Amino acid sequence: SQGNFGNWQQMVGDQTGDDVFSGQDTGAQNSQGMKSYLYSCQHCKQFNTYSLDETVNHCKTCTYMPRPNPFKCKYVCYMCDYGAYQVDPLRAHICVHSGEKPFRCSYCLFACARQSNLLVHIKGKHPHEISKI
């Protein structure tokens, strides 16, 4: 039996299609940190911003990005040819390039780019905390 973990996992909202972050420190930090990340489109070479929201919008509209099937790939990554139909997988993918780790463990200093990786961490490292939820 999963006990309360299944309910907690559903509450948090697990994402699918995860890649484990490479572990390289790019120097980027989230909005609460000291550093900012400059998003620069490698396709058009004209778009630069510090805003993730503006970058995501650009990923939907840049005419220089390869879009072999625009009905399956509404969004293309500003940095590579990764494509996604929905915005959430693209946002998670962008963390691989920016080095951002927005998902932080409430019980230790662990941080990661994907919500599902945080769930795996908590289940493995802090199983006693799950039973309290």
Per-residue pLDDT of 81-113, as tens digits, reads: 999 999 999 999 999 999 989 899 999 999 998
Q: Per-residue pLDDT tens for 34-77?
A: 458 899 999 999 999 999 999 999 999 999 999 888 788 999 99
Q: Residue 80: pLDDT above 60?
A: yes
pLDDT range class, residue 21, cuts 50, 70, 90: very low
Strands (E) in 18-82, as ranges, are 39-40, 48-49, 75-76
Residue 14 has pLDDT above 50, yes or no: no
Token pair recorded at residue 53: 């929201």
Of 112, 24, 39, 41, the closest CA to residue 81 belongs to: 41
Q: Is 98 buried (19+), middle (13-18) or exposed (0-12) by CB count in 10 A?
A: buried
- What is the rounded distance in angstroms from the CA atom of residue 6 to the CA atom of residue 88? 22
Kindly tell me the number of DSSP H helices and DSSP E strands found in the chain.
5, 6
Reported pTM:
0.63
